[in-house]
Amino acid sequence: MKVGILGATGYTGQELLRILNQHPEAQVVYLGSSSSAGKSYEEIYPHWNGSNYALSEEEVPEVDVLFAAMPHGITAQRAEGLLQRGIKLIDLGADFRLVNYQEYESWYKTQHASPHLLQHAVYGLPELYRDEIQGKGLIANPGCYPTASLLALVPLLQKQLIKNDPIIIDAKSGVSGAGRGIAQPLHFAEVNENFKAYGVGEHRHTPEIEQQLSKAANEKVLISFTPHLVPMNRGILATIYVQPYEGVGEEDLRNTLAEAYEQEEFVHLLPKGTWPQTKYAYGSNHAFLQLKFDQRTGRAILVSAIDNLIKGASGQAVQNMNILFGLPETMGLGTKGLWP
């Protein structure tokens, strides 16, 4: 397959290239960057020395699949022209994740350039929507926080084991989730030896999580979602609090998650007593889950860990590409987490 990456100099773009460079069926023929066109890739990332990759303008050549790792609002402006050329488009941004364009415009504070394409987009979380992804041309790659949260919650809502309210998601992310842009809150002195909440009550991943949970529950679901910034490079750990229905115990919850993911290569329910850590997933496309029923409070506690740049972005995008082209989902994604 001839593959292109728009936004190739960002963290997710670089991770895409790293994964695709080892993919036996992918030939990267185009790296697009508006800010660095004309430079070699190793000028931006010196560890790519000798790779001979060059950065081009954002005029996309003939490719079979294009990964768009762009800020929100940009991919939607170009999507229709790309799709008309027969290019399969995997958007790692937010432009096609929300089915309601008005909700998108409300949360992202920008007008949606292609609302008519939303009905053709498929939400690309393979473990949940694999059958819907096959054969499609426009994939909305999920956000990192939604991936971690939905893997833990969707099977339980589908089986009606937990109540829609309250669902509380307390999530932490490494600083790479904010991208390579320069901003005061991301300076070393601001992040190091510090731990802070951000986007409280207004993070843009909130409607994305609620949309997919509502689909699973067949009714409107609202969540309390608070993300935090942790002084580490990568990783997400989500701690989720839910209320099981009366008569539902820990084994019911555990058995449901075990059944949902027993055939999955990338999602793992850990043995009792072993709790997910971000290091388990570091540098890999794997997700790790655990749960406990708190008899004292009557609540269940779910914990989910992923690498925000891999399963939360680039690895999942390649997983989607593999599905689109009828390849084994694990192709190019065999790396286990790095330790320590």
**Residue 18 carries which side chain, given as an amino acid letter?**
R
Q: How far is CA 28 from the centre of its chain?
A: 22
The active-site residue out of 144, 167, 253, 267 is: 144
- Rounded-to-integer distance, Cα 306 and Cα 309, Å: 9
Ranges assigned E (strand) in the chain? 2-6, 27-32, 65-68, 88-91, 122-123, 138-140, 162-173, 196-197, 224-229, 236-244, 267-269, 287-294, 299-306
Please indicate whether residue 169 is annotated as part of the active site: no
Cβ–Cβ < 8 Å for 77, 336 = no
- Rounded-to-integer distance, Cα 82 and Cα 63, Å: 10
Cβ–Cβ < 8 Å for 170, 239 = yes
- Rounded-to-integer distance, Cα 65 and Cα 23, Å: 14
Residue showing tokens 């843009």: 204
Dmax over CA atoms of the chain, in Å, equals 63
Residues labelled catalytic: 144
